[in-house]
């Protein structure tokens, strides 16, 4: 497994964006339809599959589909996932990065870009929290890709990437606190 942290840079250089408290309520609303059955959700997938979350990734693996990009952190609803899920979703982890809760760090953005650029399925193991990576994933993924993330106690939210979704996510990310210019430079590389 490779680490994508830039250990030579000061820690503050890794922090790009922080979720402001006044945006938290907006992220509670699902950005797409909610599905509870992974096989049925997969019927609507036509293109690359980006899974954000351990349980979502596990359900796809159980349904026989390895996500093209998976982001996992060993947790669900702020608690450790079961050992079976942890072992299944981290077995193929190829990149390990730090990303603190409620933030988007430079290492996780670089890892996302690298994972999207390769033809091999890539699992990014996040030390911290991976939830917010769904937002830049929607911006950076190709047209028609599926970004799927968990909606606690409801199911899996399926976002099929379109220009409208990208525009909406860009506007939302612009409202985060931090170095948005550096964030966009890294994401758009």
Residue 119 annotated in ligand binding: no
Parse the chain into domains and list their residue ranges.
30-187
Which tokens in the block code for residue 178?
Answer: 């931090």
Residue 52 annotated in ligand binding: no
pLDDT of residue 80: 64
pLDDT of residue 152: 82
Residue 89 annotated in ligand binding: no
**What digits encode the pLDDT tens for the residues 81-127?**
677 777 778 887 688 999 988 999 999 999 999 999 998 899 998 98
pLDDT of residue 7: 41
Residue 164 annotated in ligand binding: no
Residue 13 annotated in ligand binding: no
Question: What is the pTM (predicted TM-score) of this model?
Answer: 0.88
What is the mean pLDDT of the segment spanning 123-132? Answer: 89
Rounded to whole angstroms, the Cα distance separating 22 from 44 reads: 33
């Amino acid at each position: 497994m490779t680490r994508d942290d830039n250990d030579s840079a000061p820690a503050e250089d890794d922090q790009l964006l922080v979720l402001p408290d006044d945006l938290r309520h907006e992220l509670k609303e699902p950005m797409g339809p909610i599905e509870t059955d992974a096989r049925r959700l997969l019927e609507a997938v036509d293109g690359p599959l980006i899974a954000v979350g351990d349980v979502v990734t596990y359900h796809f693996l159980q349904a026989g589909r390895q996500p093209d990009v998976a982001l996992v952190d060993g947790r669900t609803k702020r608690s450790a996932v079961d050992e079976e899920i942890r072992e299944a979703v981290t077995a193929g982890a190829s990149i390990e990065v730090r990303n603190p809760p409620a933030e988007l760090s430079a290492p996780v953005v670089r890892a996302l870009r690298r994972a999207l650029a390769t033809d091999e399925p890539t699992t990014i193991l996040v030390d911290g929290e991976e939830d917010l990576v769904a937002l830049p994933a929607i911006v950076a993924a190709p047209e028609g890709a599926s970004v799927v993330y968990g909606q606690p106690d409801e199911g899996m939210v399926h976002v099929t990437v379109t220009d409208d979704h990208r525009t909406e996510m860009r506007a939302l990310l612009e409202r985060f606190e931090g170095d948005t210019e550096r964030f966009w430079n890294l994401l758009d590389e």
